[in-house]
Every structure is written in structure tokens, then in C-alpha cells.
Chains A and B, each alone.
Chain A
């Protein structure tokens, strides 16, 4: 099952990142960021090879644990990156493909939403619900309960639910203001 899912816009900034609550999210953010480089390399290699393929298979091994990073690029240059813990299950290729398919369908629905401005962070909870349900976080896709970050603000802030936002604000100490 996926440990982290990210949707990256064509300008290489994140539109949506969701990772399992137990792990250090910083690590996943960095992993996803570095995988963008490999994605760009593969796209340019593919353009020269004249092969029409949609899925990019990346194999980034993290030093401490085994993680597999899969990539997928749409025609509108939006990248989907999925981090999978390969030590738990041996996920088949078509399972990964179907997960990306579902992600793509959900992203298309978000794009067609008239209240969504293309380029904004995806904040709708229900938009990517089918995807989050497939990740091991299960139905608790909103945000980690309880919120572990203390005096911190992170990229996930806009996508936190109201409860967690309240907890976060209560925990936050004035940080050198």
C-alpha cells in the first residue's frame, strides 16, 4: 500500500501531498522532491525514444528502509508520485497502475470543479477521497490524529481539518516573533 502520495503541478510545486501519519513527513517531502529530477530525465529520454508510454517506474532506495517511488505524468505535465513501502507487500505492477488511474480520475474531477482555480493547492477533502482510502491511513485521510508537529508550520497546513488546525494552533508557541 502506498505510504505517500503527491500531486505535483507542472511548475514543480506540490498541489497535494498526503503521507501516513506514523512516519516523518519531512522525509517523504524530500523524497518526492528529489524524485522530480528523475521524472524529468525520464520524460526527456522518452521523447527521444519515440515510445508512447504513460507510466514511469522509478526505483529510489532510501538508505534506512526500502521504499519504491513510482511516478506518473499526465499530458498536462502534472506529476503524480507515489511512495510505497516495499518491505511489506510485493505490489504488482497493475495494482500500482490502477492506483494511478484512480488518482488521475480524481484529479480530472478536481480540474473540472468550477470552484477550483488551476494552480491552487488542492484543499477539497472529498476530491481525492478515493485515493486516500487506498492508502494505509484508511478513512483517516484528513490529517494525523493527534497532530505531532509542535511549533511548526508545514506545507500540509491548508489541508488540515479544522480539529487538527485548532490543536496545532493551541500547541504552537510564539516562535521568535
Chain B
């Protein structure tokens, strides 16, 4: 991030822009959070690709979460996650005591219910990053006191749809003979 103020201001405008279009009836009210989260998802995928270009291969899930907490968070928000907790069964809680996107709001009960709007994009960011690294997850956020917030990620053991995609390799050859390359006689480990 060249200048964090730029992203902060853009993010605020993004949130208000999505909600304004909701008021005009284009998007249902409940869908605004989903829209922001999906935006974050796509951005997260691209960012992770760029950031992991030069890093070493990740050994396991915990390694990936540590990368997200340290390098990823530092590059995006200029600080690290303050606390990472896990139950070693697929649930991770990332705690940020001074979340950059919430610091500009008054620290009190006043805007607590609106805080979730400003966390949706970041939830999507984490989900997109994890998805590109091969982990399907659901990321939610909660704010108990501004500007501290917690992001909870639940990893899912997803099933890959490798067998269907293999048929994209079906080829035809010329000379009138239809020769199809179906699933070859090798075992592809999924």
C-alpha cells in the first residue's frame, strides 16, 4: 500500500456507495454485506498471488495462518495481527486490537452496530486469500469494543471436483478419425 489513507478513504466510500445503491432499491439491504465481502474475496485472491510469489512453500494450515497474520496483514494494514488463537480443529481467531479501518471512528458504543459494514471487505480479503492458497473457509468478524475486532475463520474440508475437469482434456484428431483422450490409465491423486 503506497499510502494507507488512500485505501481507508476508498474503503469508506465503497461502503457508503454500496449502501446508497441499496437505498435506491438496486440491491436488497441484506445483500450489501455480501457484495462487499465478494469484492474483498476477489481482491484477496489477487493480493495473495502477488505476495506469495517470492515466499517459500507453506507447510501446513497453521503456517498459512501465520503468514496471513504477519506478512499479509503488515502489507495491507501496516501492522500485524495482535493475537492468533486456534483450537487445532479448523477454527482460527485473529484479533486485532486497533483495526486500521475502524480507528477513525469514535471508540465507544455509538457506532458499534455499523462497524460490521466496515469489516465485510476484510472478511472477504481473508477468505479470498485462503481460497487461493487452497483452503475453503468461512470468515466472520465481530466487534466488542472499537477499534478492536476479531476475525474468526472456520476451515472446511472441501471436496475437489477434479474428475469433471479432466474431461476438458478431451481432444479430437483430424483425418476423420475421432480419437478421444478420456481419463488415462494413471491415477491422479486428488
Contact = CB atoms under 8 A, between A and B. Distances in A.
B53 to A, nearest CB: 6
B169 A33 contact: yes
Contact of A26 (B59, B173, B178): B173
B184 interface: yes
Contacts, number: 97
A75 B173 contact: no
Interface stretch (A59-67, A137-145, A146-154): A146-154
A76 B134 contact: yes
Q: State the main secondary structure of chain A at its contact with B.
A: loop
A113 to B, nearest CB: 8
Contact of B133 (A73, A75, A152): A75
Contact of B162 (A12, A47, A108): A12
A99 B57 CA distance: 19
Q: Which of A53, A75, A76 has the most CB of B within 10 A?
A: A75
A40 B134 contact: no
Contact of B52 (A74, A153, A154): A74
15 contacts: A9-B165, A10-B134, A11-B160, A11-B165, A26-B171, A29-B181, A33-B181, A34-B184, A47-B59, A54-B56, A75-B48, A76-B134, A104-B53, A118-B45, A153-B172
Interface of A: 9-14, 26, 29-30, 33-34, 36-37, 40-41, 44, 46-47, 50, 52-54, 73-77, 104-105, 107-108, 111-112, 114, 118, 148-155, 175
User: Nearest 6 A-B pairs (CB), nearest first?
Assistant: A13-B165, A75-B52, A52-B56, A112-B46, A111-B49, A150-B174
